[in-house]
Structure 1
Amino acid sequence: MRNAPNHPAFPTMKVPALIVNSAGSRRSVFDSSIILQYLDTIAEPRDRLYPPSSDPGRIETLNFEALADGVLDAAWLIRAETIRPEGERSTQWIAGQMNKVRRGIEALSELPPPEFPSAKAVALACVLWYLNRRLPDFNWREVQGGKLDAWYKRALEHPAWVEEGDVPPS
């Protein structure tokens, strides 16, 4: 999308965005949590990503998702800071963000591991994938005796998981 500064699907140029064809028109749904909620509305009941709004587990799911988003936000800010020119980086600021990532991963590892399909599973898989790619020196795999590592290995085997190289060309 680098060459599409005014692309209607990405008015703020943030990804991810989902292009939806409905009733003869195209529209975009953007932001990970909104995309998941949209997908939940069209899923078969057995494949729902969120508990129903009347279920107390829904708030638990939204809270889990917010925790995962907080870890991702801090990790993204670290990545953005580390690609700045050497003299413009703030190691103190990076350390503060890293503490947020560490505390968030510790909190996620203390919670029961999510099952697929669920919004919790998608959120956690995205966090761990991003940490692997962008913060490879942060060893999240050893937190809490490797609970998240064991879960992530199972998640990678799930048929819903697709690596970048596995995505068919559009």
Structure 2
Amino acid sequence: MLVLRSSPASPFGRKVKIVMQELDLSDRIQIVMADTTNPNDTLRQQNPLGKIPALILEDGFVLYDSRVIIEYLDHLAGGDRVIPTDPARRYRVLGLQALADGIADAALLQVYEGRWRDEAQQSETWKAHQRGKVERGLAAAETWPLDDSAHVGTIALACALGYLDLRFGGDWRDGHPKLKAFLDRFAARVPAFETTRVKA
């Protein structure tokens, strides 16, 4: 059996979990909690970067990060399921995934600044720099021609928006009506979005 090392709040781990369910692979993958802050967690032997998610294959080889894991899962499910093979769609979908992952990454860096540094050491300049990435990313996503299919781009975007809801109280919603409508539709169409939700 494959083993996914992750944690409930990770937007990147959530992205993989939604893909697992969309591809009907959940019964082939065991989810094992990982603590990225614990030096004794075996995660650091499985992924030398100490990051999640990480997917341990049956032969012991470990895949990371979420984009590589999802490409592997799509292949395992026969291909062309959540990552289109047609170049006309593929690179737009992958482009949306990159944008969404960048939003999530900048949001995470803001959270880490507050979590890992004493208040007196925190850099408001750094946090503002990351907020700018989120704001520009959301503005770009608001104009993106989003479709209603569950592919890696829309899944990544939903997870990024879900993380902003979790950690920043959904402040993004008022200024981005198209993204709010997109997320409502996505949540209604993709049951895994609710089953992977973490309550604040």
TM-score by length of 2: 0.70
What residue number does 1:57 align with?
89
**Structure 1 residues 77 and 43, CA gap change in structure 2 (3 angstroms):** same
Unmatched segments (≥5 aa) in structure 2: 1-33
What residue number does 2:76 align with?
42
Alignment of 1:125-164 (within 5 A): 125-136=158-169, 139-144=171-176, 146-157=177-188, 158-161=190-193, 162-163=195-196
- AA matched with 1:4: D
- AA matched with 2:67: S
Tell me, yes or no, if the aligned pair for 1:105 and 1:143 is still in contact at 8 Å: no
The 3-state SS of whatever aligns with 2:50 is: coil
> Deviation per CA, 1:67-121, whole angstroms, max 9, x where unpaired?
1121112111111112221110111221121111011011111112243320112
- 1:159 CA displacement: 2.4
Identity %: 36
**Structure 1 residues 103 and 8, CA gap change in structure 2 (3 angstroms):** same
TM-score by length of 1: 0.81
- 2:63 is the counterpart of 1:29: yes
- AA matched with 1:152: L
- 1:19 CA displacement: 2.5
Unmatched segments (≥5 aa) in structure 1: 166-170
What residue number does 2:131 align with?
98
Tell me, yes or no, if the aligned pair for 1:5 and 1:13 is still in contact at 8 Å: no
- 1:10 CA displacement: 2.7
The 3-state SS of whatever aligns with 1:18 is: strand
Flag as ranges the 4+ runs of structure 1 deviating above 3 A: 5-8
Cα RMSD over matched residues? Answer: 2.1
**Structure 1 residues 28 and 80, CA gap change in structure 2 (3 angstroms):** same
- In our comparison, the structure showing a higher alpha carbon Rg is 1
CA distance in 1, matches of 2:147, 2:111: 27
CA distance in 2, matches of 1:152, 1:68: 13
What residue number does 1:168 align with?
none
The structure showing larger relative contact order (alpha-carbon pairs under 8 Å, at least 6 residues apart) is 2
